[in-house]
Amino acid sequence: MRVVGGSATVCGVSVRHPGRRLRELTYRAGYLPQNAGALLTPQLTVQETIAEPILQRERRVNVKALAIRVATLLDELHLPLGLASSFPYELSAGMRQRVAIARALVLDPTVLIADEPLANLDLEVRPVVFAAITRRRTERGMAALLVSNDAAFARELGAETLMIREGHVVARGAGADLLWTPGTEHGR
């Protein structure tokens, strides 16, 4: 991610100049880029993909505990446990997206930054991902910066929502309070 202007802090760490605190920031922030499922490393299995953020940061890892953590995330996101040994190219786009979401959540982040987290998901699976995110918000106090074009998702979250048009904030409020009218100046 490249900062092009202004300033931002995540968990008390400057995004523009994190310095030595970059490692701390990567532990505490989960990141899900747009089209994350398509960006998965094709040579890694689902198990390895989800576990990679932990393995990159920890020298000594309890392999059994890590396998349980990955299995728990697969189960939470309604992915069969048998997929752990599969490769991304063997999965549907929606399954790959859920694997990417599991990877973003594996470190149990303090803040989740996600661009279109519901992209490529079937309608029956969207509530599962929504529940995983909201459960962490309510039970663990996780903050979330979610970018979405899905008005229903923003309404259902009921969280502080910014409507942005051409890079400028045009409306602000709780998702349910904003008027989402397609084709109008602020509702696009």
For the question of whether the overall pTM of this predicted structure is more than 0.75, the answer is: yes
Q: Domain spans of the chain? A: 9-148
Q: Are 104 and 54 in contact (CB under 8 A)?
A: no
pLDDT at position 185 over 60: no
Q: Residue 104: pLDDT above 90?
A: yes
Q: Which residues pair with 146 in a beta bridge?
A: 114
Q: Is the pLDDT of residue 25 over 50?
A: yes
Fold of 9-148: Rossmann fold (3.40.50)
Q: What is the pLDDT of residue 127?
A: 94
How many Å separate Cα 136 from the centre of its chain? 11
Q: What is the mean pLDDT of residues 62-85?
A: 96
> Do 179 and 187 form a contact (C-beta atoms < 8 A)?
yes
Average pLDDT for 130-147: 91
CA–chain centroid gap for 108, Å, is 11
Residue 15 has pLDDT above 50, yes or no: yes
Q: Tell me the CA distances in angstroms from 91 to 64, 96, 114, 116, 182, one per residue in order.
A: 25, 6, 21, 19, 34
